Amino acid sequence: MLQINLFRTDKEQIIAGLQKKHFKDLHVVDEIIALDEEKRNIQQQSETLAAAMNAASKSIGQLIASGDKAAAEAKKQEVTQHREQAKELGLNLAAAEQKLHDLVISLPNLPHASVPEGKTPEENEVVRSGGAIPQLHEGAVPHWDLTTKYKLIDFELGNKITGSGFPVYTNKGARLQRGLIQYFLDYNTGAGYTEYQVPHMVNEESAYGTGQLPDKEGQMYHAKDDNFFLIPTSEVPLTNLYRDEIVKEEQLPVRMTAYTPCFRREAGSYGKDVRGLNRLHQFDKVELVQICHPTRSYEVLEEMVLHVEKLLQSLELPYRILRLCGGDMSFTAALTYDFEVYSTAQQRWLEVSSVSNFETFQTNRMKIRFKDEQGKTQLLHSLNGSSLALPRIMACLLENNQYEGGIRIPAVLEKYVGGLSIG
- pLDDT tens for the chain, 423 residues: list them: 999 999 999 999 999 999 999 999 999 999 999 999 999 999 999 999 999 888 888 888 788 878 888 888 888 888 888 889 999 999 999 999 999 999 999 999 999 999 999 999 999 999 999 999 999 999 999 999 999 999 999 999 999 999 999 999 999 999 999 999 999 999 999 999 999 999 999 999 999 999 999 988 889 999 999 999 999 999 999 999 999 999 999 999 999 999 999 999 975 555 557 899 999 999 999 999 999 999 999 999 999 999 999 999 999 999 999 999 999 999 999 999 999 999 999 999 999 999 999 999 999 999 999 999 899 999 999 999 999 999 999 999 999 999 999 999 999 999 999 999 998
Q: Are residues 98 and 209 in the same domain?
A: no
CATH number at 65 reads: 1.10.287.40
Quick check: is 299 in a domain?
yes
Q: Which helix (H) or strand (E) holds 76?
A: helix 69-104
| Domain containing residue 190: CATH number | 3.30.930.10
Please name the residues in contact with 128: beta carbons below 8 A apart, sequence gap of 6 or more.
Answer: 320, 321
- Among 393, 167, 396, 386, which residue's Cα sits nearest to residue 286? 386
Q: What is the DSSP letter of 250?
A: G
> Residues within the annotated binding site for L-serine?
233, 264, 287, 384
- Residues 70, 194: one domain? no
133 vs 342: CA distance, rounded Å: 7
pLDDT of res. 79: 84
Both 50 and 17 in one domain: the answer is yes
Note the pLDDT of residue 267.
59
Domain-terminating residue out of 104, 134, 153: 104
Is residue 116 assigned to a domain?
A: no
Q: How far apart are CA 276 and CA 280, in angstroms?
A: 8
Q: Please tell me the distance from the alpha carbon of residue 235 to that of residue 258, in angstroms, as a whole number.
A: 9
Q: Element (H or E) spanning 399, and its range?
A: helix 390-400
The pLDDT assigned to 80 comes to: 87
Domain that holds residue 354: 121-422
* 243 shares its domain with 187: yes
Q: Are residues 236 and 288 in the same domain?
A: yes
Domains contained in the chain, number: 2
Domain match, 267 and 344 both: yes
| Residue 71 and residue 204 in one domain | no
Residue 222 lies in a domain: yes
At position 158, the amino acid (one-letter code) is G
Contact 142, 345 (CB under 8 A): yes
Residues annotated in the binding site, as ranges? 233, 264-266, 287, 351-354, 384
Residues 91 and 130 in one domain: no
Same domain for 140 and 99: no
Q: Known binding site for ATP: residues?
A: 264-266, 351-354
| Co-location of 297 and 344 in the same domain | yes
113 lies in a domain? no
The answer as to whether 355 is a domain residue is: yes
Among 104, 130, 165, the domain boundary falls at: 104
Report yes or no on 56 lying in a domain. yes
